[in-house]
Amino acid sequence: MSTDTKTNLSRRHFLKATSITTATAGLALSGFASAKTESSCTSLPDKWDETYDVVVVGSGFAGLSAAIEAKNAKSSVVVLEKMPVPGGNSTINGGGMAVVGSDIQKANGVTDSVDAMLADMYKAGLGLNYPKQARMVAEQSNDAFEWCRDYLGVKFKEKLAQFGGHSIPRTHTTYNQSGSGIVHPMLEKAKELGIPLKKKVFVKRLISNKEGRIVGLEVITKFKPGKENSTATHFIKANKGVVMASGGFATDVVYRSSQDPRLTEELATTNHMGATSECLKEMIRVGANPVQLSWIQLGPWASPDEKGFGLAPIFAAYSAFTHGVMVNPETSERFVDELADRKVRADAIIKTGNVAVAICDAKGVKASMHVMPKLLDRKVVHTFDTIQALAAHYNMSAKTLEAQIQRYNSYVLAKNDPEFNKPFSMNQQPIVEAPFYAVRLWPKAHHTMGGVEIDTEARVINIATRETIPGLFACGESTGGTHGACRLGTVAIPDCIVFGRIAGKNVAKA
Amino acid sequence: MSTDTKTNLSRRHFLKATSITTATAGLALSGFASAKTESSCTSLPDKWDETYDVVVVGSGFAGLSAAIEAKNAKSSVVVLEKMPVPGGNSTINGGGMAVVGSDIQKANGVTDSVDAMLADMYKAGLGLNYPKQARMVAEQSNDAFEWCRDYLGVKFKEKLAQFGGHSIPRTHTTYNQSGSGIVHPMLEKAKELGIPLKKKVFVKRLISNKEGRIVGLEVITKFKPGKENSTATHFIKANKGVVMASGGFATDVVYRSSQDPRLTEELATTNHMGATSECLKEMIRVGANPVQLSWIQLGPWASPDEKGFGLAPIFAAYSAFTHGVMVNPETSERFVDELADRKVRADAIIKTGNVAVAICDAKGVKASMHVMPKLLDRKVVHTFDTIQALAAHYNMSAKTLEAQIQRYNSYVLAKNDPEFNKPFSMNQQPIVEAPFYAVRLWPKAHHTMGGVEIDTEARVINIATRETIPGLFACGESTGGTHGACRLGTVAIPDCIVFGRIAGKNVAKA
């Protein structure tokens, strides 16, 4: 039974090497269970504790964008955040934003187009993308970028990056190479506009009136994990509507493995511990259509040698993948285009069955220099004076690795990779200058492409009637469709900001 | 923008050639809308019109298996069927049943194992299969087969077939090469046991009591498409429980394209017009967890030259794919292992952008001889005295096609296909004997792998609490998980019968 053996092996390999960093995932197994509602009956509270025009659930890119736009459209707004700190996953990522047609692209001599970005999104998304939404993200990405920079005061680097799956350099990175470089200016703007941000507020229930309109929420205040069924609840009225910018569920082991049984607790995640499914389930309960939930992305640039998202992804995406190589330590050879989309690369690493090693030289490391002290200190990235020493550290054949690097260097010089067709549009240089830097990589659950179905105005669609659910809007990772089978790197930020702003403008009109 | 052009092309190609047979899909656009329920509130009727221990929704393989087992466990049972005729998709297929370890396999000298079948299922399912459910289907397939043959009196052929994606011949086919060869004996048994079958009964609502137990249904009797919101409703009480064997939604263009936007109305389906989503949505409304809904299978053996499932799949699966070749008429060459799984083959056809041509010779056609008169009469399959004449008919190069067939014949004789690794375990013969037979093939939507989550006892899982929903059982295509990303051909029948019987036995105990 060779196929049998192979299948079992693949499954074992899939989970191998991931047991090192299960702490975060483990927490989610017990934390953030969905609240049990006694029946699916609508029931209005006797009295509302607070009233706003607009209630936004979630304080990441999407939620804060919606809140700012709704407030600017003269609505009273509150932002609810379940965690003790704002920002969710929006603060723990590399701060890369894919943008088409910016002045920075022009200054860098890059010619890009909406159709080129869409083609990249469709290729990674296997054509499962919702055509209108995907196009809107690409078309409005520069508007979102300029809103961040010119209205919010976000500082971006002047150099572009080329992320996996993009045919062209179009990733604009925040000055501090973190999503916090956008979240913090958003929080400041929200404060300046007088939008209250209430932390540790857990959504227990969306409340509909008799006509099926969402009119408010039942929440638990002073929330801590484990208190999901607390009876000390609080009622918040939303005169115009509720915007669910409640994120994805990559940390929720029980729920994610009901959609993809391979993603058990043995697989680590890049997400914060609050990335669970209770808000998604609550939207489904009131009639939302859950779409494409079984497409869950694994990040190929995550290291098993640190917890969560960590800092390795910044080194890998900006330095090693772009300006270096990724090899299978068993063969000391490359096995995939280091700039393929995330699904292609994650699947390729898993297929080797080995924790990959990504390498760059002293020139390549420059693009991630500011995270290097921490990565070296934490022994996630190591530095070596010679390729021989690097090979020895990872139990590789120095001879094969040197030959591999020489071969790769010849492709760089020829600007043509006949083996894996890596795009050399970032003026890549050969790997020659010591010291050499290396990191171990194994995929972690990163982004849930699926979510509730929305229309182009960020209104949530009712599964049975195909009409919109009055008073209910959603945006960001809590929605499905835009990315199809696989979200391209750095397209989450434009998606969240474009649809967050749309949701905020539309709920204010509701 | 070469990638851009490519993406647009792929999308165009994806839909090309399918506009010929949209009649069935077109109907579903208007018919079988979900009933609109005024609120999600539970409300018991003032009086029940009928009462049974067990109500089974759906009269295909799964529903009839459940009804027979529940009745044999001393419950009163009714079967509800929305259509004017019973059986649904279970009557329109080739009647193939994948079985491990049968006496027919032994008589044919085939050594098989549960692990070998599981390995095939996982390979096609891309590892997304629910491990316990997948194993149960393989383990209990022979029990299901013997129950059909020895208890129901189903007649099977003594020859095995090898279907795409199976590493071993394990497909047992009904005598009339149709699923009706199983459905009719099931209907007779149900009649003999005194189980009423009520046709034209449309499920409007599942009714829960205050404790969240499913206690019955609101239905529309004398149903016709377009009457989904009829107020002339009727209430049926289920003392022990309801078994939802309500099938998949491959005909439901609006709903399927919310999960996979490529599957627009331009894409035809093999399914009957009743394969829509309203029962799935109703289960979700009462708390079921919808899993893996975006995996929708396209049948690679469907012909654009006939409507619906038709008869071409029988010729393709039993004759042309096993004992012949499939070529791209643009190149006159093979492009995929004709016995790969359905997803691999359908994707490969779509990628060529051309309606494929599948060919076998006078010896190969024997395995599908009884459908040949109709296929020839309807001009779906054509016969030719020479390969040259065949090539001319399909505008192919006779020279290249002859060279292709000679090359393929040499692989058959060597029992080794170095190009596509086709498994030659069915004693394949070279393509030499006139007349030659050929059919045009383009994929049609065939099976929805996703559905509600059940446990190993066919009880429906509540999305929020992870407990079972009391009184609610599901089986067959209405459930998700067993097949993962792609159901192997002829594994639907054991799935439906194994889990239908489990549901019937368990609901009787409830």
Stretch A6-12: mean pLDDT: 42
Residues A218 and A69 placed together within one structural domain of the fold: yes
Which tens digit of pLDDT belongs to each residue from B254-283?
999 999 999 999 899 999 999 999 999 999
pLDDT band at B58 (very low <50, low <70, confident <90, very high): very high
Which tens digit of pLDDT belongs to each residue from A445-484?
999 999 999 999 999 999 999 999 999 999 999 999 999 9
> Residue B14: its pLDDT value, please?
55
Identify all chain A residues contacting B261, using CB atoms and an 8 Å cutoff. 127-131, 481, 484
Return the residue in B5, B166, B258 with the most chain A beta carbons within 10 A, the one to mutate for interface testing. B258
Domain residue limits at B175: 54-250+446-509
Q: Cβ of B37 under 8 Å from any chain A Cβ?
A: yes
3-state secondary structure A24-80: HHHHHHHCCCCCCCCCCCCCCCCCCCEEEEEEEECCCHHHHHHHHHHHHCCCCEEEE
Identify all chain B residues contacting A131, using CB atoms and an 8 Å cutoff. 261
In angstroms, rounded to a whole number, what is the distance separating the alpha carbons of residues A358 and A360?
A: 7
Which tens digit of pLDDT belongs to each residue from B483-504?
999 999 999 999 999 999 999 9
> Residue B22: its pLDDT value, please?
35
Name which residue leads in pLDDT, B42 or B346: B346
Q: Cβ of B287 under 8 Å from any chain A Cβ?
A: yes
A201: closest CA of chain B, how far (Å): 19
Strands B233-244 and B468-474: parallel
Q: Cβ of B115 under 8 Å from any chain A Cβ?
A: yes
Mark which residues 229-258 of B lie under 8 Å from A by CB.
254, 258
Q: Cβ of B116 under 8 Å from any chain A Cβ?
A: yes
> Residue B32: its pLDDT value, please?
58
Which tens digit of pLDDT belongs to each residue from B457-475?
999 999 999 999 999 999 9
CB spacing of A291 vs B259 below 8 angstroms: yes
Is B347 a domain residue? yes
For B201, phi then psi, to 5°, come to: -115, 115
Stretch B423-451: mean pLDDT: 96
Cα dihedral B82/B84/B89/B95 (nearest 10):
140
CB spacing of A116 vs B1 below 8 angstroms: yes
SS3 A327: strand
Q: Cβ of A130 under 8 Å from any chain B Cβ?
A: yes
In this complex, the residue of A4, A290, A463 whose CB is nearest that of residue B116 is: A4
Residues B372 and B460 placed together within one structural domain of the fold: no
Is A194 a domain residue? yes
Is A100 a domain residue? yes
Instruction: Give me the CATH number covering residue A385.
Output: 3.90.700.10
Tokens of B176: 């009339």
pLDDT of residue A13 exceeding 80: no
Q: Which of B424, B442, B460 is the last residue of a domain?
A: B442
**Angle at CA of residue B110, ends B104 and B116, nearest 5°:** 110
Question: Which stretches does DSSP call E strand in A202-354?
Answer: 202-208, 214-220, 233-244, 290-291, 296-299, 325-328, 333-334
The total of structural domains in chain A comes to: 2
> Residue B424: its pLDDT value, please?
94
Percent of chain A at pLDDT > 90 equals 89
Stretch B370-390: mean pLDDT: 97
Residues A321 and A422 placed together within one structural domain of the fold: yes
Identify all chain B residues contacting A128, using CB atoms and an 8 Å cutoff. 260-262, 294
In angstroms, rounded to a whole number, what is the distance separating the alpha carbons of residues B190 and B87?
A: 13
Residues A198 and A75 placed together within one structural domain of the fold: yes
Is A454 a domain residue? yes
In this complex, the residue of A210, A278, A292 whose CB is nearest that of residue B259 is: A292
Which tens digit of pLDDT belongs to each residue from B200-256?
999 999 999 999 999 999 999 999 988 888 887 899 999 999 999 999 999 999 999
Q: Cβ of A122 under 8 Å from any chain B Cβ?
A: yes
Q: Cβ of A102 under 8 Å from any chain B Cβ?
A: no
CB spacing of A41 vs B41 below 8 angstroms: yes
Task: Please name the amino acid found at residue B458.
Answer: A
Q: Cβ of B208 under 8 Å from any chain A Cβ?
A: yes
Q: Which of A7-21, A337-351, B36-50 has the lowest mean pLDDT?
A: A7-21
pLDDT band at A226 (very low <50, low <70, confident <90, very high): confident
B402: closest CA of chain A, how far (Å): 33
Q: Cβ of A113 under 8 Å from any chain B Cβ?
A: yes
Residues A122 and A194 placed together within one structural domain of the fold: yes
Is A401 a domain residue? yes
Tokens of A421: 């067709």
Mark which residues 293-322 of A lie under 8 Å from B by CB.
293-295
pLDDT of residue B39 exceeding 50: no
Q: Cβ of B472 under 8 Å from any chain A Cβ?
A: no
Residues B376 and B458 placed together within one structural domain of the fold: no
pLDDT of residue A400 exceeding 90: yes
In this complex, the residue of A37, A254, A285 whose CB is nearest that of residue B466 is: A254
CB spacing of B464 vs A210 below 8 angstroms: no
pLDDT of residue B119 exceeding 70: yes
Q: Is A87 exposed, middle or buried (0-12, 13-18, 19+ CB in 10 A)?
A: buried
Residues B358 and B438 placed together within one structural domain of the fold: yes
Q: Is B466 exposed, middle or buried (0-12, 13-18, 19+ CB in 10 A)?
A: middle
Residues A344 and A454 placed together within one structural domain of the fold: no
CA distances from B198 to A468, B59, B233 (A): 35, 10, 15
> Residue A496: its pLDDT value, please?
98
In this complex, the residue of B39, B281, B294 whose CB is nearest that of residue A295 is: B294
SS3 B15: helix
> Residue B34: its pLDDT value, please?
55
pLDDT of residue B508 exceeding 60: yes
Tally DSSP H helices, then E strands, for chain A: 17, 20
Tokens of B413: 């004789």
In this complex, the residue of A41, A284, A292 whose CB is nearest that of residue B284 is: A284
Is B501 a domain residue? yes
Which tens digit of pLDDT belongs to each residue from A187-225?
999 999 999 999 999 999 999 999 999 999 999 999 998
> Residue B42: its pLDDT value, please?
59
Return the residue in A121, A279, A294, A483 with the most chain B beta carbons within 10 A, the one to mutate for interface testing. A294
Percent of chain B at pLDDT > 90 equals 89
Q: What is the mean pLDDT of chain A?
A: 92
Residues B436 and B485 placed together within one structural domain of the fold: no
Residues B342 and B453 placed together within one structural domain of the fold: no
Identify all chain B residues contacting A254, using CB atoms and an 8 Å cutoff. 466
In this complex, the residue of B39, B208, B295 whose CB is nearest that of residue A294 is: B295
Which tens digit of pLDDT belongs to each residue from B67-98?
999 999 999 999 999 999 999 999 999 999 99
Cβ–Cβ pairs < 8 A, chains A and B: 162
Identify all chain A residues contacting B260, using CB atoms and an 8 Å cutoff. 128
Stretch B95-106: mean pLDDT: 98
pLDDT of residue B361 exceeding 50: yes
**Angle at CA of residue A61, ends A497 and A445, nearest 5°:** 110
Q: Which of A409, A442, A475 is the last residue of a domain?
A: A442
CA distances from A197 to A59, A89, A201, B413 (A): 8, 17, 10, 74
pLDDT of residue A10 exceeding 70: no
Residues B221 and B149 placed together within one structural domain of the fold: yes
Is A240 a domain residue? yes
A102: closest CA of chain B, how far (Å): 18
Helix, strand and coil in chain A, % to nearest 5? 35, 20, 45
Mark which residues 135-154 of A lie under 8 Å from B by CB.
none
Q: What is the mean pLDDT of chain B?
A: 92
pLDDT of residue A112 exceeding 70: yes
CB spacing of B11 vs A292 below 8 angstroms: no
Residues B183 and B156 placed together within one structural domain of the fold: yes
Percent of chain A at pLDDT > 70 equals 92
Stretch B369-388: mean pLDDT: 97
> Residue A344: its pLDDT value, please?
94
Instruction: Give me the CATH number covering residue A106.
Output: 3.50.50.60
In angstroms, rounded to a whole number, what is the distance separating the alpha carbons of residues B264 and B256?
A: 8
pLDDT of residue B7 exceeding 70: no
pLDDT of residue A42 exceeding 80: no
Q: What ipTM does the predicted assembly reach? A: 0.90
CB spacing of B291 vs A4 below 8 angstroms: no
B64: closest CA of chain A, how far (Å): 27
In angstroms, rounded to a whole number, what is the distance separating the alpha carbons of residues B471 and A239?
A: 38
pLDDT of residue B117 exceeding 50: yes
Is B437 a domain residue? yes
> Residue A34: its pLDDT value, please?
55
In this complex, the residue of A35, A289, A295 whose CB is nearest that of residue B258 is: A289
A465: closest CA of chain B, how far (Å): 7
Active site residues of B: 342
A288: closest CA of chain B, how far (Å): 10
pLDDT of residue A31 exceeding 80: no
CA distances from B261 to A96, A139, B93, B177 (A): 28, 20, 26, 33
Q: Which of B402, B418, B442 is the last residue of a domain?
A: B442
